[in-house]
Amino acid sequence: MAPGYVGKILKVDLNKLDHKVIEKDDYFYRTFMGGSAMASYFLLTEIEPGIDALGPDNVLVITTSVLTGTPLAGANRYTVAAKSPLNDGFGESESGGFFSVELKRAGFDAIIIKGKAKKPVYLWITDGKVEIKDASHLWGNDTGFTQEKIREENGDNKIQTVTIGQGGENLVRYACLLQDLRHANGRSGMGAVFGSKNLKAIAARGKMKLEFHDMGKLRELSSYFIKNRKEHSVCQVLTEGGTLGWDLEDLDADGVLPTKNFHGGSYDKAESVTFNKLKETVLSGRDTCYACPIRCKQVAAGGKFDIDPRFGGPEYETSGAFGPNMLVDDIEVIAKAHELCNRYSLDTIDAGMSITFAMECFENGILTKKDTDGLELKFGNGEAALEMVRKIAFREGFGDLLAEGSWRAARKIGKGAEKYVMTVKKQSFAMHEPRGKNNIAFSYAFSPTGADHIEATHDMPLEDGGWAVPDIYPLSILKGVPARDLGPQKVRTFIYNQHAYSLLNSLSMCFFTAGPARLFRMNHLVEMVAASTGWETSLFELMQLGERTTTLARLFLTREGLGRKDDTLPDRLFEPLETGILTGVSLDRDKFTKAMDMYYEMMGWDIETGIPRKARLHQLNIADLAQF
């Protein structure tokens, strides 16, 4: 076994309340390495096609990677994957924090969880020992209570937990997981899968010394990051204000800040929901992840809503979803929405977008106060949005419908509500406007989980002459492409960036520290993997891992019946923006359709169906996993 791995994978059967340890050889580890690729392998091999995502036959997979436990900034993420109850296909979400390192130090590279416990339980993993413990006393409580009690009853306040609150217990289809209350596995409904299995939490604490091939080189790379971070623009902005300090004002100026359920690209009250406004009101501190000096996480406290600092503070996505896109101009409402979502374990993007969808229905007379439990659910009503978050988590009244996600809710409401749904594969848009950033159009369409904003590098730094273009020279991309371009060179640039981001997910590396337009550049990843394992590797091998990762997820979608027909964008994106400097700009439907054809051709997938071709699967060494 190469260094960089523990070499043990925990397999838990909740039906029998039993577990066993399995081992894989070096060939397996080098082929999949960890994170998303390894998780996708187990989804394909452990789940039967066509099962109910909220039934006992679904399988949860949690994976670390070759770099987990190194001193590298950003090497602290982990993947949680299962069949998604939101999109009925591939479900995956990454998070940072501290859990991944504790799990690996506790003796395991990954966990596979099958079945459903008869009553609530949680997993307790420490130094190679595994217990399935009663969680009946935790059920019905929020994530904060759960973490506090698990630490208390096991006598260690350094235990790292991944927990669900009432949203996960009540099977909200976009329920998330909370790690240390502030780090969310947000997208695709992994919290609902926990709840469907009566699994309240996983707790880990480990003291095992992890072995790496060349710690000297790893420390050298770590020092490089610490030394140079103050000179790198991305690190600077994230250190000063996190994602909220980075995105909102710039996007507004560029006309790509989603406003009023993606009607517009600019908000005339944007200054009311920026990092500066948070700093003036309820910002109380900053937080970080394992071994990361950036400290990009906000912490909010107090204010008129008595915000609880245990749950951190709002990121850009939360601020966009509960702010401009909802026409809410109160940063304290946004910070409280963040707290409630983390408390109850709800994805802030889908929660915000589901409420925003309902607001547009309300504005157009499709919904009335009779439907919304007496709430005046109109654009700008932040306090109604806060109440609706609670109702969604507890599936109370109208919240029960919105807990299904906007795509399903619209089909139950009818009356033309479907045209107000901003989803792909039933997952809501993140807070980025595809009409001004066409890479985002591709990201939303081609992400295996549904609309997702971290499928590839965003457009502006990669325009011709952009400051980040030299970062992608090693990917053989030598020229930038305009942000509003749908031609073959844009498709090529997107694909190589998509592979790079998929690679980062399989190495469990943070997008804020590594990859295109980041301080750790692509060839640094080669040095990292070599230093961790001792393997003689290359950027070619790692980029193949990235493409393998993207394609494994596609294989899972394919066998669950999803294909090209599901890679489609809502009509609204082909209509003109109504506010901002890009007023009047829309996606060209014909050009986008041709770009889709080009994407499938370049990926080696069938143009008509979007199914990967056998030859490309053999090229990626995963043909044996195809189930069609």
In this predicted structure, what is the pLDDT of residue 460? 87
Q: 61-88 in b/e burial notation, b at 16+ Cβ within 10 A? A: bbbbbbbbbbbbbbbbbbbbbbbbbbbb
Q: Which residue has the tokens 């309340």?
A: 17
My answer on whether 408 and 508 are in the same domain is no
Residue 31 lies in a domain: yes
Output the domain CATH number for residue 489.
1.10.599.10
453 contact partners, CB below 8 Å, separation of at least 6: 317, 430, 431, 432, 440, 443, 444
The residue segments making up the domain with residue 350 are 230-424
Query: In this structure, are 99 and 245 located in the same domain?
Result: no
Which pLDDT does position 28 carry in this prediction? Answer: 97
- For residue 215, being part of any structural domain is answered with no
Number of domains, the chain: 3
Q: What is the CATH number of the domain that holds 56?
A: 3.60.9.10
- How high is the pLDDT of residue 464? 84
Q: Examine the domain organization and report whether 253 and 164 are in the same domain.
A: no
* Whether residue 356 is found in the same domain as residue 461: no
Q: Give the residue ranges of the chain where pLDDT is below 70.
A: 247, 628
**Residue 529 falls inside a structural domain:** yes
366, 505: one domain: no
* 430 in any annotated domain: no
Q: Is 3 exposed, middle or buried (0-12, 13-18, 19+ CB in 10 A)?
A: middle
Domain shared by 114 and 252, yes or no: no
3 state SS of 43: helix
Residue 459 has a pLDDT of 87
- C-alpha distances in angstroms, 310 versus 24, 61, 144? 39, 27, 7
Q: Is residue 212, in this structure, part of any structural domain at all?
A: no
Domain assignment of residue 431, yes or no: no
* Claim to verify: residue 414 and residue 447 sit in the same structural domain: no
Contacts of 289 (CB under 8 A, 6+ apart): 74, 76, 77, 96, 97, 98, 183, 297, 510
Distance CA 156, CA 7 (A): 26
Query: Which pLDDT value is given to residue 177?
Result: 98
Residues 546 and 475 in one domain: yes
Residue 225, pLDDT score: 97
Let me know whether 266 and 174 are in one domain. Answer: no
Do 155 and 86 share a domain, yes or no? yes
How high is the pLDDT of residue 250? Answer: 84
Whether residue 471 is contained in a domain is answered as yes
CATH number of residue 257's parent domain: 1.10.569.10
**Structure confidence at residue 12 (pLDDT):** 98
Is residue 210 in some structural domain? no
For the whole model, what pTM was predicted?
Answer: 0.97
Same domain, 242 and 164: no
Q: What is the pLDDT of residue 395?
A: 98
Question: Do 444 and 403 reside in the same domain of the chain?
Answer: no
Residue 338: partners with Cβ closer than 8 Å, 6 or more residues away:
300, 311, 312, 313, 314, 315, 318, 322, 348
In this predicted model, what pLDDT tens digit does every residue of 393-405 receive, in sequence order? 999 999 999 999 9
